[in-house]
Structure 1
C-alpha cells in the first residue's frame, strides 16, 4: 500500500494550465531547495499516484504531487500566481 496523499481536485487545474502553456515554474518541495523547471505534463500510475513531469536542462523528472509545497510561474502574463499545494 502506498503512502500517497492525493492532491485536492481544484489544485490540479493549476498544474494542467502550467503544462498546457509549458510554464517555467519555481517549484518548492517539502524536502529540498526550490528550483526552476518547465512544466510538461501530469501522469497517474496504476496505483493512483500522481506526478508532475518537468524538464530541467534537457532531462525529464517526475515529481510526486504530494511532495510539492508550492508552484510559482516565472514568466510574465501567467494565468495564476503562487499556488500552495498543501
Structure 2
C-alpha cells in the first residue's frame, strides 16, 4: 500500500458521528470498490496509520482509502461526504 496520508482534520467529525449514531454507510473506496457497513470506531496503528473499523463488511479500512461515505439511515445528520484527496496539511 502507498505511504499513508492523514485525512483532513475537519472530516474526522463525520466518521465519529457515524460511529456514535451507528449509521449504516455506503462506502466508496479510492479504487472504486463500494460496500455497505456499520462503522464502530477508528483506530491508530503504531505506524500512525488510521483505520475505520466496521461491525460488518470488511474488518477495517485505512482512512486515506475512503473516497466517500453516505449514511443510509433516514434522518442522518449529514449526507454524502467526499473524503478522497482531502488530506491533512500537517
Relative to the length of structure 1, the TM-score reads 0.90
Q: Secondary structure of 1:56's match?
A: coil
2:25 equivalent to 1:25: yes
How many angstroms does 1:47 deviate by? 1.2
Partner of 2:79: 81
State the distance in 2 between where 1:33 and 1:65 align: 14
RMSD: 1.4
Please, which moves more after superposition, 60-69 or 16-25? 60-69
* CA distance in 2: counterparts of 1:4 and 1:32, whole angstroms: 18
In the alignment of these two chains, the number of paired residues is 83
Structure 1 unaligned blocks of 5 or more: none
Larger proportion of strand: 1
User: What SS class does the counterpart of residue 42 from structure 2 fall into?
Assistant: strand
Partner of 1:72: 70
Cα separation, 2, equivalents of 1:79 and 1:48:
29
- Give the secondary-structure state (helix, strand or coil) at the position aligned to 1:18: helix
SS in 1 for 2:59: strand
Displacement of 1:46 after TM fit?
1.2
Q: Structure 2: give runs of 5+ residues left out of the alignment.
A: 85-90
TM-score under structure 2 length normalisation = 0.86
Give the equivalent residue in structure 1 for 2:61.
Answer: 63
